[in-house]
A and B are shown apart, each in its own frame.
Chain A
Amino acid sequence: MPSRRRTLLKVIILGDSGVGKTSLMNQYVNKKFSNQYKATIGADFLTKEVQFEDRLFTLQIWDTAGQERFQSLGVAFYRGADCCVLVYDVNSMKSFDNLNNWREEFLIQASPSDPENFPFVLIGNKVDVDGGNSRVVSEKKAKAWCASKGNIPYFETSAKEGTNVEEAFQCIAKNALKSGEEEELYLPDTIDVGTSSQQRSSGCEC
């Protein structure tokens, strides 16, 4: 088999609703930010080309709803992720406390082959709010959490001002690339394909 060039990197952004997942993605991909709050429905992705070590990659960034109400189909899109970005709002303790849940939910649902070493990146967003005065989760606390989960890289960002967003995604891309997640190897047992599907689908031609 020819060695496959990995050019597509799949990244999933998770976190409570309102922490700034959509804003981070928009800031990174489109260099745009809006103060307006617009809920995300279902899973949505944007892509961005990234240059890394002289090679071009397509970063496929999946933004999620964060509210169960708008995640009616489940999370099948987790599969094949190369990196998972956990986001919390440094001004909300609850969003920080929920990180464990998000991480665990991801590991269960995406079931990566090597969960111990699956690359996560943590982002503490909205550091700009009130000049940092309304902050309730300290950098130290966040870093301690990262350390306890196997040295997860940590970034503090402002999607609003664009602070550290580029750096965070550079790291995300790097980790996604390094990720041990190879596509599952598949070897066909028969050459003849193409007839079997008929039985499983409806009789009509659509």
Chain B
Amino acid sequence: MIADGAEDEEKWLAAGAAAFKQNAFYMQRAIDSNNLKDALKYSAQMLGELRTSKLSPHKYYDLYMRAFDELRKLEIFFMEETRRGCSVIELYELVQHAGNILPRLYLLCTAGSVYIKTKEAPAKDILKDLVEMCRGIQHPLRGLFLRSYLAQVSRDKLPDIGSEYEGDADTVTDAVEFVLLNFTEMNKLWVRMQHQVSHDLCCIACESLPFDDPELRLAVGLSGLQGPAREKERRERERSELRDLVGKNLHVLSQLEGVDLDMYRDTVLPRVLEQIVNCRDEIAQIYLVDCIIQVFPDEYHLQTLDVLLGACPQLQPSIDIMTVLSRLMERLSSYAALNVEVLPYFLQVEAFSKLNNAIGKVIEAQEDMPILSAVTLYSSLLKFTLHVHPDRLDYADQVLGSCIKQLSGKGKIDDSRATKEIVTLLSAPLEKYNDVVTALKLTNYPLVMEYLDNETKRIMATVIIRSIMKNNTLIATAEKVEALLELIGGLINDPDESQGVEVDEDDFEEGQNSVARLIHMLYNDDPEEMFKIISILKNHFLTGGPKRLKFTVPPLVVSALKLIRRLPVEGDNPFGKEASVSATKIFQFLNQAIKLGQIPLVLNQLCYSLRFLSLSVGAFCLLQIIEALPNVPSPDLAFRLYLQCAEAANKCDEEPIAYEFFTQAYILYEEEISDSKAQVTALQLIIGTLQRMHVFGVENRDTLTHKAMGYSSKLLKKPDQCRAVYGCSHLFWLEDHEAIQDGERVLLCLKRALKIANSAQQMISTAQGSSTVSVTLFIEMLNKYLYFYEKGIPQITVESVESLIKLIKNEEPMASDPSAESFFASTLRFMEFQKQKGGAIGDRYEEIKV
């Protein structure tokens, strides 16, 4: 029995190594003095150390390597001996006098190697002799190492094509036969280890009892039952350590020049597979099939796919064939990816359908195959077909279809690793095509998603959106948008919510933001189609509840507004008034969208719904701003949105709609904007926007202007009032609109502002404060007067200008306020400048007497 403790084992190894070195020393001394007899004696004693049963494979390998190195010296010595006239045949006989069989066979292999080199006998005969003689060792560990020694020393002496050992009598067939035989024997030894009770059992076997004897098998099996599970575990670990010794033979075969496709298909593969199938050992099967796949070239696999795949169902039902098949497909995929020229062969041999069938059969054969395995298989198959047949979408769809068949009837997948694998599976087409549009063509794609739990659906939706964003994929038709929305439904309308399952707040926001960004990629130049897209989006978003709307509606509004800007002016609308998309329709939509947010407002979440409006304003500028916006006080921004919309409506000559937006903005101004500073800014916006509106008829315009005037005079601070009021003067005089040129009211407005400035001054003087503010106000007023005076408005007379200048000059604090002084100076300079210009304007300024 192998010592249990690693410590003991170290001791045994050290002892073995010491005895080993001693003998090696004497062997070397014998070699140095050309003493063949002693060299053989000591080498045999040295090799005797390999008869130990006390070492684990790792340690045994250590000892074996020492022997291996020493035997190289002996081999060179043998070679020299033959050059000195010693007959190699005699040598070959001589080594067989060693007492123990293991040292004898090591020496025989070494002499055999020299024998082949001398070419005094056909290589194949010597090889055959050696491989047969090695049967003498039935102890698995020792046998495996002995045979691996044989494999190594014969490695460069095989009668391969092009080798110096090839000849009339020696062909590559002999080489292959030799390696196959050695492989078969090694595999038998290796498999037997599993059933071996103790290492001493070998002795029974060594007495040349055929192990195929059923009784012996039974005996071994029975006593195996007594061994504890630990024993089995250890045995399997040891076997696993030894596996490369067996696999090495396949490597040797793959390196043979003469193992061409024919030889591989006709001899090597069937024979190797036969051994693998018949040994009925799981560890051997899984490892060796993997070896075949890895050591032989891809083109061989491609041409022998049916044979290899045909063997799969014959393997032990419990083995992890999935990993093996996955690796095969991975190898073939990268082969196809790296060598475009081989693609026709894939088609020629119908690789896809063969793999598809094989997988189907494997899954069928293993009734209770875990869902993870099945999904992994299909995932590899999908990757394979995407690489090899990128143009065959039907293949990809077929794989998804087969996958669904496996999933169906089992409800949602609850194995998290299987779920992950599905995500991998579904991500593969996106990665391959870099284009979600192609994936949308896969009819089974959304069906696979059905089997995901809600969280994974969300993950998948994020993956899809990320792919779209990364590749800048434009989704251009309503139909595709519809399909896409189905796919990313996890983010649009999440049943988890209604079921009260908690979703991480950050994840939620991230998800919704990604949906918001996605909207930008849904675009069509054709307004008709674009409008359809927007409507579809709206319908889907409506199902997502208010919590989502605040993320999704803003970019949608942006899209809608953009669409309006692209519309031709109503009269030239190629669709005519009857066209399905018109500004009116879009505005209706916009209003609806805004109202949508108003419902929860009414229903008690006032600020909440307004936030989405604020976002959409930001989107006007740039999408990035959206992220920063939620921190900004909302009513203020909602207010801006209304004005923006009004301006867009103006552009489209939609008076009632523009009026409606304005009204909404006014309501917000009245109800929500209470901060005095915010009011000032808001009012500036109102006045500025209103000034640019040309859509309004007299009545509407009057109402709105009137209100604006009212707001202006109600501002908290006098200076603000004054400025707002004189600002309103612009509402009555539009340069290019003769309909809106009312000098009377301009004057009225300015006078009113002047009055306010006056009262501001009085208030300040009574409060003993500085009156520089009012001086500045007067100078500002002067500038306004000059503006309208220059325009030639008759009501603004030269006298009124002059008296204003006088008033300012008389103001006390002028001298004490440098900024007011310089403001005034620059105003005067401006007047001088205009005068110098000459012409009509020059003449006007000429009249003013400063």
Contact = CB atoms under 8 A, between A and B. Distances in A.
Contacts of A205: 100-101, 206
A132 interface: no
B22 interface: yes
Interface string B64-84: 111011001100100000000
Interface in A76-114: 76-77, 79-80
Contact of B242 (A26, A39, A73): A73
A131 interface: no
A202 B203 contact: yes
B656 interface: no
Contact of A206 (B51, B72, B247, B257): B51
A197 to B, nearest CB: 4
Contacts of A203: 200, 203
B253 to A, nearest CB: 10
Given A70-B294, A202-B199, A197 B65 contact: no
B22 A206 contact: no
Nearest to B49: A197
A50 B32 CA distance: 22
B299 interface: yes
B814 interface: no
A197 B16 CA distance: 7
B570 to A, nearest CB: 58
B32 A193 contact: no
B52 A201 contact: yes
Interface in B172-226: 199-200, 202-203, 206
Nearest to A191: B26
Contacts of B297: 34, 36-38
A73 B237 CA distance: 11
A47 interface: yes
B832 to A, nearest CB: 70
B295 A206 contact: no
Given A196-B15, A198-B48, 16 more contacts: A40-B251, A41-B244, A41-B295, A71-B244, A72-B240, A73-B61, A76-B58, A76-B61, A76-B62, A186-B25, A193-B23, A197-B49, A197-B51, A200-B16, A201-B53, A206-B138
Contact of B251 (A8, A44, A204): A44
B248 A202 contact: no
B150 interface: no
A38 B65 contact: no
B550 interface: no
Interface of B: 12, 15-16, 19, 21-26, 28-29, 32, 42, 45, 48-49, 51-54, 57-58, 61-62, 64-66, 68-69, 72-73, 76, 100-102, 136-139, 142, 152, 155-156, 199-200, 202-203, 206, 240-245, 247-248, 250-252, 254-255, 257, 290-291, 294-299
Nearest to B12: A200
B72 A60 contact: yes
Contacts of A77: 65, 68
A60 to B, nearest CB: 7
Contacts of B248: 41-42, 44
Contact of A47 (B156, B290, B298): B156
Given A60-B72, A200-B52, A41 B22 contact: no
A70 B247 contact: yes
A46 B156 contact: yes
17 contacts: A8-B72, A32-B257, A42-B247, A44-B248, A44-B251, A74-B58, A76-B61, A76-B62, A77-B68, A79-B66, A197-B45, A198-B48, A200-B15, A200-B51, A201-B49, A205-B100, A206-B203
Interface in A172-204: 186-188, 190, 193-194, 196-198, 200-204
B338 to A, nearest CB: 9
Contacts of A190: 22
B142 A206 contact: yes
Contacts of A36: 297-299
Nearest to B160: A30
Contact of A80 (B21, B69, B250, B296): B69
Nearest to B297: A36
Interface in A1-47: 1-2, 4, 7-8, 10, 26, 32, 34, 36-42, 44-47
Contact of A42 (B64, B68, B251): B251
Contacts of A202: 51-53, 139, 199-200, 202-203
A150 B295 CA distance: 36
Classify the interface of chain A: helix, strand, loop or mixed.
loop
Contacts of A65: 244
A46 to B, nearest CB: 6
Contacts of B32: 2, 4
A39 B243 CA distance: 15
A65 B250 CA distance: 13
B454 to A, nearest CB: 38
A92 B704 CA distance: 71
A18 B187 CA distance: 27
B25 A188 contact: yes
A39 to B, nearest CB: 4
Contacts of B49: 197, 200-201
A58 interface: yes
A69 to B, nearest CB: 8
Nearest to B137: A206
B202 A197 contact: no
A206 B137 CA distance: 6
B22 A188 contact: yes
Contacts of A1: 29
B19 A41 contact: no
A67 B206 CA distance: 36
Nearest to B244: A42
A25 to B, nearest CB: 10
Contacts of A188: 21-22, 25-26
Contacts of A42: 244-245, 247-248, 251
Nearest to A185: B25
Contacts of B298: 36-37
A67 to B, nearest CB: 8
Nearest to A194: B45
Contacts of B76: 7-8, 58
B763 to A, nearest CB: 76
A203 B139 CA distance: 13
Nearest to B15: A200
Contacts of B24: 186
A42 B68 CA distance: 15
A2 B295 CA distance: 45
Nearest to B142: A206
B58 A206 contact: no
B45 A193 contact: yes
A206 B202 contact: yes
Q: Which one of A46, A80, A202, A205 has the greatest number of beta carbons of chain B within 10 Å?
A: A202
Q: Which one of A36, A80, A187 has the greatest number of beta carbons of chain B within 10 Å?
A: A36
A73 B12 contact: no
B254 A38 contact: yes
Contacts of B19: 193, 196-197, 200
Nearest to B240: A72
B78 to A, nearest CB: 14
A36 B129 CA distance: 33
A190 B142 CA distance: 28
Q: Which one of A60, A69, A193 has the greatest number of beta carbons of chain B within 10 Å?
A: A193
A47 B299 CA distance: 29
Given A38-B297, A70-B294, A73-B58, A204 B206 contact: yes
Rank and list the top 7 A-B pairs by shortest CB-CB distance, nearest first. Answer: A36-B297, A201-B51, A42-B244, A39-B294, A204-B203, A41-B251, A197-B48
Nearest to A17: B294
A91 to B, nearest CB: 12
Nearest to A204: B203
A89 to B, nearest CB: 14
B242 A72 contact: yes
A44 B45 contact: no
